[in-house]
Structure 1
Amino acid sequence: MLRPIRTLAAAAAALALVSACNSASNSSSPGKPDAGTAANFRGVTDRSIKVGGIVSMTSASGYSKKDTDLGAKARYLRANAEGGIHGRTIEYLGAEDDGQDPAKNMAAARKLVQQDKVFAISPMSSVTFSGADFLEQEKVPTFGWGTLPSFCGPKYIYGFNGCLVPSPGGTLNQTWPEGIARILGGAKGKSVAVIATDSDAGKFGIRTFQQGFTSAGFTVSYAKASVPATAVPSDWSAYVKEILAGNDGKAPDAVVSVMQTPNNIGLFTALKRAGYKGLLSDPTDYDPGLLAKDATKQALEGVHVLLQFEPFESASPAMAQFKADIKAASGGQEVPLNMHMLTGYMSADLFVSIAQKAGKDLTVTHFQNAAQSFSDTGTLVGDRAEPKGQKDSFGCGALVQLKNGAYEVSVPFKCHAPIPFK
């Protein structure tokens, strides 16, 4: 964790608590303006800004996003090395583990705000975000991967690559459908099956991707959020049978899984054993660490993974900086890169970028005012703009394929025009 001025920050925080305007109940109450100036605002002293995170370090299935924390740490370390935010050091408390449990997610949000008195939460990375309403009510700027509806619409919650699950009136990112169409030589006459877990996120994913693939010209032959969300099935035969028969008794040209790694391994293994030869794709399995086990490597061989950021194979200056920052945060050690690191890094990067724009007098009101006209270009997620990103995605992405035990770019990073979500 980043605690370069921990003692000073703790003393300043103790002094700040003397003033009632700095308590969570007063300074961030719904409908009330910010109290005081940056020097006595919640989580902000003359010398520091306190930030925390919420990440699913553990889960019942064994899936972990723990490296999201390392990615955020890497970005904050560089910001501090460059002088902080207008002279203030970012005091990153590290991430609370919510275990993908809604109750723990809410508890983590309350702890960070009410006990730790953070100014912001970045990153927030979980399949559950039950603390969203509380953080919005308390006016806590929060940053994460915009794959949940809570990242689309609220004033204080931001997706690092925009809103990926919009409400009607928003837009859909077409990277996945357009990328798969490119690999298949076009979408005309091609069919796709989409499968997700039986959860709110899974059901919403089915709704959005069904529309996205249809708009790209595919026939969606199967689209169900039917896999249990709490446990990985031991027998995938029923799902495989439905998928392979969904296209009027024929196998689809592509199977798209909107699920996490343990489910993808089970599903893809079962499909291959059933003789399926079509395209397989998911949005989660870009992780060299997965290749350490032969069974996992075989299950994911040939799979095209959706990325909503530049691939690690990119030679851009921004990617070189990311790699250098991760190495520095790892004590100078070379570590295998994964997408969780990138989500933490870019969540932190968006927070840092808006906070810099907000100026020396950092309060939530000034932060929000800065966000209302924020934009930049050439980042690892493309061009960014707020508040556009709270309604629309930034529209960029790529596909990589695991081939002969190594990842290769199958569709280069590109920004696609989004489509209206209905």
Structure 2
Amino acid sequence: MLRPIRTLAAAAVALALVSACNSAATPDTAAPGASGGTSRGVTADSIKVGGIVSMTTASGYSKKDTDLGAKARYTRANAEGGVNGRKIDYLGAEDDGQDPAKNMAAARKLVQQDKVFAVSPMSSVTFSGADFLEQEKVPTFGWGTLPSFCGPKYIYGFNGCLVPSPGGTLNQTWPEGIGRVLGGAAGKSVAVIANDSDAGKFGIRTFQQGFAGAGFTVAYAKASVPATAVPSDWSAYVKEIMESNGGKAPDAVVSVMQTPNNIGLFTALKRAGYKGLISDPTDYDPGLLAKEATKQALDGVHVLLQFEPFESDNPKMAQFKADIKAAAGGQDPPPLNMHMLTGYMSADLFLSIAQKAGRDLTVESFQTAAQGFSDTGSLVGDRAEPKGQKDSFGCGALVQLKDGTYRVSVPFTCYEPVPFS
């Protein structure tokens, strides 16, 4: 049976938990039939799993529904008999507050105190615990928007690696989708803006190459917005963008930032008279429409999705919606959002590989199963490992918020990736 979702009450509690167990914990006794491999968190009838999610942040942005999405998928797995006869003992997600120290503390707590077999989901803009989880050989699943999801042996993006190293490939869903909306990329210009952080700088580098590879002229590409606080005055950023295309505005503005920044930037662009296409990868959330100012700021924006839209008639989307409702106790769940899908598909990929690993579940057997894993037709397209630890699965869609409703502007499609250098 699922345990209640548990979060850290405060940073002090997290640090206390870490200091109480800063020596390596002894793995759980191997389940009957295990072949002597690492089986921490595995018993004869259960598999212990935890998560790390930015439920609270300084800006107010929250990914808390990632936890609900994971719970929904684990609940259905348990209702169907578990994984090779074992139920998933999901501890819920630790809240890292989008703070690197808390992310590390959460990773240590889950491994050293809770002794989990896997961490799924991991959803945050910081992943300081990545090296620790890799060192401890903890299978970890999340949204592959950070470099830590690209390359390590034990860390998996639910839709592959989205920020590859040189020699990998770039997902072209965003540039190709925007090109379709604009009637082609030839002769069109784009401005890309991100936060001044390691993730933002890497995002600028990847998307600059991706849009150029699709045929756009990249008129502006800067990771210049402070990462720690939302600017109160966007005029300097707007002026640069509006003059970036040879003194004129670009055809498209792409923001690689979170909702609070997007609301400020998009509002300022519209007030400055910008009439081109605006797009971001984060604002697919009906809950954002409750406030009139937010709804106006996001109206007309095309949002990148790397999964089937909620508006899809795919039977697996209907199953997702039913699972979310069941996890919410049969009551009407919160409005569907991409965080739910992040948690759900992170859990789904973990479950699929664990099922293939068989009854004799150890980290070693899990990794062996992952090395030859593939399936088709998931809500993120066709999946394959270890391909997904170097490349994305290459699929996605665009939805546009118009008059208070999300509408599919580019259907879920898979595109050929381009080399990343």
Give TM class, smaller chain.
over 0.9
1:406 maps to 405
How far apart are residue 73 of structure 1 and its match? 0.1
2:77 maps to 79
AA in 1 matched with 2:300: G
- Secondary structure of the residue aligned to 1:54 is strand
2:260 maps to 262
2:182 maps to 184
1:46 maps to 44
1:349 maps to 348
Q: Which moved more, 1:332-341 or 1:152-161?
A: 332-341
- Secondary structure of the residue aligned to 1:413 is strand
How far, CA to CA, are the matches of 1:382 and 1:24 in structure 2?
38
**Which residues of structure 1 form unaligned runs of 5+?**
5-22, 29-34
Does the CA contact (< 8 Å) of 1:144 and 1:158 recur in 2?
yes
2:205 maps to 207
- Secondary structure of the residue aligned to 1:318 is helix
2:3 maps to 3
TM-score normalized with structure 1 length: 0.92
How far apart are residue 2 of structure 1 and its match? 1.1
AA in 1 matched with 2:39: F
The match for 1:216 among 214, 218, 223 is 214
How far apart are residue 333 of structure 1 and its match? 1.8
* 1:161 to 2:173 alignment: no
2:9 maps to none
* 1:57 to 2:24 alignment: no
How far apart are residue 117 of structure 1 and its match? 0.2
Deviations 1:266-294 (A, max 9, x none): 00000000000000000000000000000
How far, CA to CA, are the matches of 1:99 and 1:368 in structure 2?
30
Q: Let me know the Cα RMSD of the aligned residues.
A: 1.6
1:396 maps to 395
Does the CA contact (< 8 Å) of 1:38 and 1:44 recur in 2?
no
2:273 maps to 275
How far, CA to CA, are the matches of 2:24 and 2:411 in structure 1?
45
Change (3 A) 1:24 1:89: farther
Change (3 A) 1:223 1:301: same
Change (3 A) 1:227 1:40: closer
The match for 2:104 among 103, 106, 117 is 106
AA in 2 matched with 1:417: E
- Correspondence list, 1:168-179, <5 A: 168-179=166-177
1:229 maps to 227
- Correspondence list, 1:307-326, <5 A: 307-326=305-324
TM-score normalized with structure 2 length: 0.93
How far apart are residue 3 of structure 1 and its match? 3.2
How far, CA to CA, are the matches of 1:49 and 1:163 in structure 2?
26
Does the CA contact (< 8 Å) of 1:39 and 1:46 recur in 2?
no
How far, CA to CA, are the matches of 1:36 and 1:84 in structure 2?
18
- Secondary structure of the residue aligned to 2:70 is helix
* 1:150 to 2:148 alignment: yes
How far, CA to CA, are the matches of 2:398 and 2:26 in structure 1?
47
Change (3 A) 1:49 1:38: farther
AA in 1 matched with 2:268: A
How far, CA to CA, are the matches of 1:232 and 1:393 in structure 2?
30
- Secondary structure of the residue aligned to 1:221 is strand
- Secondary structure of the residue aligned to 1:232 is coil
How far apart are residue 39 of structure 1 and its match? 10
2:13 maps to none
Does the CA contact (< 8 Å) of 2:34 and 2:360 recur in 1?
no
AA in 2 matched with 1:405: G
- Secondary structure of the residue aligned to 1:207 is helix
How far, CA to CA, are the matches of 2:235 and 2:263 in structure 1?
14
How far, CA to CA, are the matches of 2:355 and 2:320 in structure 1?
19
- Secondary structure of the residue aligned to 1:412 is strand
Does the CA contact (< 8 Å) of 1:38 and 1:46 recur in 2?
no
Q: Which moved more, 1:35-44 or 1:181-190?
A: 35-44
AA in 2 matched with 1:93: L
What is the aligned-residue identity percentage? Answer: 86
AA in 2 matched with 1:401: Q
How far apart are residue 27 of structure 1 and its match? 5.6
1:364 maps to 363
How far, CA to CA, are the matches of 1:95 and 1:2 in structure 2?
12
**Which residues of structure 2 form unaligned runs of 5+?**
5-22
How far, CA to CA, are the matches of 1:281 and 1:40 in structure 2?
45
How far, CA to CA, are the matches of 1:165 and 1:414 in structure 2?
20
AA in 1 matched with 2:107: A
How far apart are residue 367 of structure 1 and its match? 0.1
The match for 1:301 among 284, 299, 302 is 299
How far apart are residue 365 of structure 1 and its match? 0.1
How far, CA to CA, are the matches of 1:249 and 1:392 in structure 2?
37
Change (3 A) 1:374 1:259: same
- Runs of 4+ in structure 1 displaced over 6 angstroms? none
How far apart are residue 40 of structure 1 and its match? 8.3
